[in-house]
Chains A and B, each alone.
Chain A
């Protein structure tokens, strides 16, 4: 138990303009489960990418099983026995479980694949891990949690001594999480070491030996989990008080601007009704899969609904497409800005103007360049978007600046209702505050704002009122000043059948 498996010394990693890791050191014993916690942008994933060979370090040393190693490719990491399981799983959905487990290491006699042997070997590994999965089943027919198990089995079959798991529970149900934890404990008893990255601090206590806290590219503390309280961990992660992190202004709540009545979509949204007022930030909390994003997309007309009414200023409006919603003054910033928000290969100006080309066109559709540049420059200046020019491709900007480009796109439209889905996901701490300030500015202007977030401190920090969703239903309406994370969590896990997180 006490033998050291991995020692990391003084790792430094710099990207153009940012020092992401400023000399990080830590140790991991055999059979130890270490939780790596920290805010987005603290450097956790960069560190893990270095350990798994996706990035190379600028300086520092890595010792694995007592020897200094250079991990310069994912293949090298795998060879050493380091496997990483990403949040987005890397499986071939059309292949069988066994084929996935042994991908690249197939059993064959001479040239022909030996499927029978492969299935048997897969079964052995799955049994060993206590996983009830049929090796001949196609991966796409499995639930997300089962797919994750397949990933773990794959790593173990490749003889992994160190397993890195990045937010493994973010899309799992309570029962599935218990199952995963059982497997993790099992692996630990067999001597596998695990680095476990999670934002869900409450769940750590079920599996973790050690906690390592990162902040702004530094390892600020490591300690035995039993010696520390949650509050202390949060304090170390944040490094400052909550009030400073979430600049807040008070604006008198104006008239009712939006009313949603009985919004329903089979199996996704169940009879949702709520109101939004001018100059108010309405937070929507809930776990992944609770229907938060689906609710936003339904209001925005991006997905169809089966039933329900939307009223703007007391008048019923028909919203069948995003174009309708935008026309009515409702805009939406999606959670996955790279996939559904930005045209990454196009310029900053193209992205800013994407929804407002009409504004700078003559009736023949010819764009007035000067007018367009004027709007572009103003937006870049107002939002302090850091870009060398308006012609820069958006994919070359940092996450925070990309997010500002989308915000800018909608500001040009002068909307009345602004829906933000995960407004600060993957954005560094400094830019986060800038985005909160933008929210405040919008609030002052009397715009109705909806913020969806899976980060509870963020929801608590920015919202005036909070709605909590679970399984497509609104479970509670809370006043931000009079509630806390525990209460939100309670409602967010208030499943219909009475399943609940034990410690909420």
Chain B
């Protein structure tokens, strides 16, 4: 009896906890999908699943960046505003006749710059990430409103709309972009120096510093990644609705936090994976889509998502204590 107990414990310790965590999030997603599959005929159709993926793409993309930041014990509240500003700048350039490629590049750069500013303020200003990004959230949103006078920019070129509404081999373009970004940034986090440093800084800042890790470079890179991914999401969103909206992306940063946390990232730092986060984003996406199909009102959906967030973290903590 005693022996058996130690044996299973020994086995368990051989499986990385991240994997256990990931499998439990994934099984949550499968159970949720099975439930909607049983209750709604439409849910498990190829068409609907592609719709789910399309609806999830934007949250998943920003959640990847948010996960990087959360692993370092930070938070990026400026993501929503970043979504808006990148879309606005790209739209302005396009309606003024600049090539789409230039517009997209400028949009991405805008997000990257906001991210770098966030990182610099956190590192050199020695300010809490919450405060820094709360500030830039407001500033960047304000800049977007000033530039546009609060009025959406429409009449964007057809070719640009392809980014949000096109399909490649039957798969929506945003889903392909999401998959590509998830692979790239998942690889960076898991297999590169920057990824390793991200975990180190988040797990124990002082130990990382005393190990000679270049902290400013690491932290600024991480916020830059989050800014860049927010801009990617901003451009896709702009393309989907074919207009640059100064109010786009409001509150999206919190969806990103939710996806990361459901996917196993810890706000205490040092934990989180990109696969987990993508699955977490899909949990939210499936929940919204499934409840829509069951004709549950958007108001009730909000409640359901809140329950899932708290439930996911609750069970995770319980497991951890054992």
Binding site for B on A (CB under 8 A): 300, 302, 321-323, 325-327, 332, 334, 339-347, 350, 353-355, 357-358, 361, 364-367, 369, 388-389, 391-393, 396, 409
Do A389 and B207 have beta carbons less than 8 Å apart? Answer: no
Do B204 and A396 have beta carbons less than 8 Å apart? Answer: no
- Provide the bound-state CA to CA distance between A424 and B304, in Å: 52
Do A346 and B200 have beta carbons less than 8 Å apart? Answer: yes
Q: Which residues of B contact A366 (CB under 8 A)?
A: 191-192
Residue of B nearest to A406 (CB): B207
Q: Is B46 an interface residue (CB 8 A)?
A: no
- Provide the bound-state CA to CA distance between A343 and B198, in Å: 12
CB distance from B70 to the nearest CB of A (A): 14
Q: Which residues of A contact B204 (CB under 8 A)?
A: 339-340, 342-344
Interface string of B183-221 (1 = CB under 8 A from A): 000000001111011011001101111111110000000
What are 6 of the A-B contact pairs (CB < 8 Å)?
Answer: A322-B212, A334-B210, A340-B204, A343-B199, A343-B204, A346-B199
CB distance from B78 to the nearest CB of A (A): 26
Do B210 and A322 have beta carbons less than 8 Å apart? Answer: yes
Do A343 and B207 have beta carbons less than 8 Å apart? Answer: yes
Closest 3 pairs between A and B when the two form their complex, measured CB to CB: A343-B203, A326-B212, A323-B212
Chain B residues bordering chain A, tally (CB within 8 A): 27
Q: Is B169 an interface residue (CB 8 A)?
A: no
Q: A367-B192, A367-B193 are in contact. Are A343 and B13 (CB under 8 A)?
A: no
Do A350 and B199 have beta carbons less than 8 Å apart? Answer: yes
Residue of B nearest to A391 (CB): B16
CB distance from A189 to the nearest CB of B (A): 45
Name A354's contact: one of B207, B269, B271 (CB within 8 Å). Answer: B207
Residue of A nearest to B11 (CB): A388
Do B206 and A357 have beta carbons less than 8 Å apart? Answer: no
Q: Which residues of B contact A361 (CB under 8 A)?
A: 192-193
Residue of B nearest to A325 (CB): B212
Name A323's contact: one of B193, B196, B214 (CB within 8 Å). Answer: B214
CB distance from A340 to the nearest CB of B (A): 4
Do A357 and B197 have beta carbons less than 8 Å apart? Answer: yes
What 14 additional pairs, Cβ within 8 angstroms, besides A342-B207, A354-B200, A367-B192?
A: A322-B212, A326-B211, A334-B210, A341-B207, A343-B207, A345-B271, A346-B200, A354-B211, A361-B193, A365-B194, A366-B192, A388-B14, A393-B17, A396-B13
Residue of A nearest to B9 (CB): A16
Q: Is B270 an interface residue (CB 8 A)?
A: yes
CB distance from A296 to the nearest CB of B (A): 11
Residue of B nearest to A389 (CB): B14
Do A365 and B193 have beta carbons less than 8 Å apart? Answer: yes
Do A388 and B197 have beta carbons less than 8 Å apart? Answer: no
Do A365 and B212 have beta carbons less than 8 Å apart? Answer: no
Q: A346-B270, A361-B193 are in contact. Are A327 and B207 (CB under 8 A)?
A: no
CB distance from A103 to the nearest CB of B (A): 26
Do A343 and B270 have beta carbons less than 8 Å apart? Answer: yes
Say whether chain A's binding surface is mostly helix, strand, loop, or mixed. mixed
Q: Is B97 an interface residue (CB 8 A)?
A: no
For A326, A343, A396, A409, the residue with the greatest tally of chain B CB atoms inside 10 Å of its CB is A343
Q: Which residues of A contact B209 (CB under 8 A)?
A: 302, 322
- Provide the bound-state CA to CA distance between A341 and B206, in Å: 7
Do A340 and B196 have beta carbons less than 8 Å apart? Answer: no
Do B193 and A392 have beta carbons less than 8 Å apart? Answer: no
Name A409's contact: one of B192, B193, B211, B270 (CB within 8 Å). Answer: B211
Do A345 and B203 have beta carbons less than 8 Å apart? Answer: yes
- Provide the bound-state CA to CA distance between A409 and B13, in Å: 22
Name B196's contact: one of A322, A332, A341, A353 (CB within 8 Å). Answer: A353
Residue of A nearest to B10 (CB): A388
- Provide the bound-state CA to CA distance between A302 and B209, in Å: 8
- Provide the bound-state CA to CA distance between A350 and B197, in Å: 9
Q: Which residues of B contact A344 (CB under 8 A)?
A: 203-204
CB distance from A391 to the nearest CB of B (A): 5
Q: A366-B191, A366-B192 are in contact. Are A354 and B208 (CB under 8 A)?
A: yes
- Provide the bound-state CA to CA distance between A462 and B213, in Å: 31
Q: Which residues of A contact B14 (CB under 8 A)?
A: 388-389, 391
- Provide the bound-state CA to CA distance between A300 and B211, in Å: 11
Residue of A nearest to B194 (CB): A365
CB distance from B184 to the nearest CB of A (A): 12
Q: Which residues of B contact A327 (CB under 8 A)?
A: 212
- Provide the bound-state CA to CA distance between A358 and B203, in Å: 19
Residues facing A in B155-207 (CB within 8 A) are 191-194, 196-197, 199-200, 203-204, 206-207
- Provide the bound-state CA to CA distance between A300 and B192, in Å: 27
CB distance from A416 to the nearest CB of B (A): 15
Residue of A nearest to B266 (CB): A345
For B16, B210, B212, the residue with the greatest tally of chain A CB atoms inside 10 Å of its CB is B210
CB distance from B219 to the nearest CB of A (A): 15
For A334, A341, A345, A355, the residue with the greatest tally of chain B CB atoms inside 10 Å of its CB is A345
- Provide the bound-state CA to CA distance between A346 and B197, in Å: 11
Do A341 and B13 have beta carbons less than 8 Å apart? Answer: no
Residue of A nearest to B190 (CB): A367
Residue of B nearest to A393 (CB): B17
- Provide the bound-state CA to CA distance between A350 and B201, in Å: 12
For B14, B207, B208, B270, the residue with the greatest tally of chain A CB atoms inside 10 Å of its CB is B207
Do B270 and A369 have beta carbons less than 8 Å apart? Answer: no
- Provide the bound-state CA to CA distance between A300 and B203, in Å: 22
CB distance from B204 to the nearest CB of A (A): 4
Q: Which residues of B contact A353 (CB under 8 A)?
A: 196
Q: Which residues of B contact A339 (CB under 8 A)?
A: 204, 206
Do B16 and A357 have beta carbons less than 8 Å apart? Answer: no
- Provide the bound-state CA to CA distance between A391 and B200, in Å: 15
